[in-house]
Amino acid sequence: MPTSLTEQLGRRNAIAEIIKENNVLRQKEIVNLLQNKGYGVTQSSVSRDLKEMGINKFNSSYTLPEKNITTNYALKNIDSFIIGVISAGPNLLVLKTEIGAAQRVAVTLDELNWPEIIATLSGDDTIYIATSSISQQNKIKIKLEKDINNG
């Protein structure tokens, strides 16, 4: 049974924390540390997470990718669900998604922690993105359109 996006993000945040705090040489160490934190994981699920997070070994230990690589990965995972980005006043963007995808896309945008986004509110196929100004709105619109079109 596939895990929910929230569970997956929690597990991946825990993996990132483990790698930041420890000199991890083997995937088995990550599995053990995750299990100690209460995550029911296997070596194959950790291997898949590491690959999808862009985490590789460097000088025999695992290292986190640069921030922009993680951002690109996150956007690549949602770009196929986004239909369009529309300005709706100076502080609001409307993001149209495939039916049923809005919550997943909104959670991903929240996890990116872009400073231009104050908040997101999602329905079934629509996300409202609040910004503090029109310039912040334009920055988000450019980021989304650029990354989605390049995805």
Percent of the chain exceeding pLDDT 90 equals: 37
Work out the burial of residue 4: count CB atoms within 10 Å of its CB; fewer than 13 is exposed, 13-18 middle, 19 or more buried: exposed
Q: Would you state the pLDDT for residue 46?
A: 93
Per-residue model confidence as pLDDT tens digits over 42-59:
999 999 888 877 788 888
What pTM, to 2 d.p., does this model score? 0.53
| Domain covering 76-150, topology | Gyrase A; domain 2 (3.30.1360)
Phi, psi of 110 (to 5 degrees): -60, -40
- List strand residue ranges (DSSP E) for the chain, in order: 56-58, 61-63, 82-87, 92-97, 119-122, 126-130
DSSP letter (8 states) at residue 89: S
DSSP bridge pairs for 122: 127
Q: Tokens in use for 104? A: 């997943």
Q: Would you state the pLDDT for residue 41?
A: 92
Per-residue model confidence as pLDDT tens digits over 15-46:
989 998 999 999 999 999 999 999 999 999 99
| Domain covering 5-65, topology | Arc Repressor Mutant, subunit A (1.10.10)
CB 120 within 8 A of CB 144: no
Percent of the chain exceeding pLDDT 70 equals: 85
Is residue 69 very low, low, confident or very high in pLDDT (cuts 50, 70, 90)? very low
Q: Would you state the pLDDT for residue 72?
A: 55
Q: Would you state the pLDDT for residue 59?
A: 82
Query: Any idea which of 10-14, 30-34, 147-151 has the lowest mean pLDDT?
Result: 147-151
Ordered by start, the domain boundaries in the chain are 5-65, 76-150
Res 6 pLDDT > 80:
no
Work out the burial of residue 5: count CB atoms within 10 Å of its CB; fewer than 13 is exposed, 13-18 middle, 19 or more buried: middle
Res 119 pLDDT > 50:
yes
